[in-house]
Amino acid sequence: MPHPRRLRLTLAKLVAIAPVELALHAVVLAAHPPYLVSVGVLASVTTALVIWVVEPSTMRLLRSWLHAPTTRPRHGIGTLWRIRVTLDDRAGTLESVARQLSVLDANILGLHVHPVDDGVRDELVVSTPDDVTAADLELAIESGGGRETHVWPTTALALVDGQTKALSLSARVVADPGELPHAVAELLGAQLVTNRATLAGQLPDDGTVLKVPSPWTGLFAFSRPGEPFTPAESARAHRLAELAEAAQTINR
């Protein structure tokens, strides 16, 4: 957890120690023991109570307040959400969704498009003010023509590339092996080939199509016209497929 801020820690210790000090002094002064006895009792009892009883108890009681981050005005990112929605594959559908999101002051920070049989499956990362909920986002997206909408809170990890992105996608595949085709498409910036006739026919042999074994259908194909896949990218995609197969086996 974040380290307590100095002011909060000082206030917590003051609240914990001051009542004990006052009570002990009142008892000792009322009893009128010899001076050295008074000093010894106050020093030993106060030290023992504060170190081993009062301060630890107060720290546990005020734990959430002590370690809470300081509230600051948000600039830029705000609260982040990951959204997956199916849209009709025609001009203007994403614009309609974006218009509805703008009513909520939601800002689209990332977008991935996955072609599917009944349209396109869009995955968005958006930032919103703190008072916007997942239900608000779902309603806005459905008003804009979206369907099969899913909304999850996310973090800035959804916006980073490279190794962190690969690890994040691997975690998604482990949690749900059915995410494999979407994860590979997002990782490689490619399109999932969903047309069965295309899969059964002759695919281009120029390196722009990548075939990955599927634990369910036997084969997934991904297309990236004009940009051949590198051996490293092929290795990453196959490794994700192996991970999905292993996760499915464990889940059984």
Q: Could you read off the pLDDT of 98-107 as tens digits, one per residue?
A: 999 999 999 9
Mean pLDDT value across residues 50-62: 73
From 156, 190, 214, the end of a domain falls on 156
* pLDDT value, residue 110: 83
- Among 18, 45, 67, the domain boundary falls at 67
Are 48 and 15 in a shared domain? yes
Q: Do 236 and 205 share a structural domain?
A: yes
Q: Is 109 within a domain?
A: yes
Residue 1: predicted pLDDT: 47
Q: Report helix angle 35-49 to 6-31, nearest 10.
A: 140
Does residue 129 or residue 73 have the better pLDDT?
129
- According to the model, what pLDDT value does residue 39 have? 82
Assess if residue 74 is contained within a domain: no
Q: 166 and 232 in contact (C-beta within 8 Å)? A: no
Place of tokens 């349209």: 119
CB atoms within 10 A of CB 220: 22
Domain of residue 38, residue span: 6-67
Residues 86 and 141 in one domain: yes
pLDDT(129) > 80: yes
| Mean predicted confidence (pLDDT) in 80-94 | 86
d(CA 90, CA 94): 9
Q: Length of the chain, please?
A: 252
Q: Decide if 1 is inside a domain.
A: no
Residues 104 and 44 in one domain: no
Q: Give the predicted TM-score (pTM) of the model.
A: 0.43
Look at the chain and report how many structural domains it folds into. 3
Rounded Cα distance between 221 and 234, Å, is 11
What SS3 class is residue 82? strand
Confidence class of residue 197 from pLDDT cuts 50, 70 and 90?
A: low
Identify the CA nearest to 188 among candidates 208, 203, 213, 159.
208
Q: Do the domain assignments include residue 245?
A: yes
Q: Is the pLDDT of residue 74 over 60?
A: no
Evaluate whether residue 93 is within a structural domain: yes
Domain boundary among 156, 190, 208: 156
Rounded-to-integer distance, Cα 178 and Cα 172, Å:
9
Residue 119 lies in a domain: yes
Average pLDDT along the chain: 79
**pLDDT band (50, 70, 90) for residue 66:** low
* Own/partner long-range contacts of 244-250 (Cβ < 8 Å, ≥24 apart): 244/173, 244/177, 244/179, 244/180, 244/215, 245/177, 245/213, 245/215, 247/173, 247/174, 247/175, 247/177, 248/177, 248/215
Residue 148: left (phi > 0), alpha (psi -120 to 50), or beta?
left
In a domain, 138, yes or no: yes
Q: Which residues contact 185 (CB under 8 A, 6 or more apart)?
A: 112, 114, 191, 192, 222
pLDDT digits (tens, 9 = 90+) for 130-172: 888 889 999 999 998 988 888 888 877 666 656 677 788 888 8
pLDDT at residue 171 in the model: 87
Q: Are residues 93 and 32 in the same domain?
A: no
What's the confidence (pLDDT) of residue 100? Answer: 92
Whether residue 247 is found in the same domain as residue 196: yes
> Which residue type does 141 have?
I
Do residues 30 and 52 both lie within one domain? yes
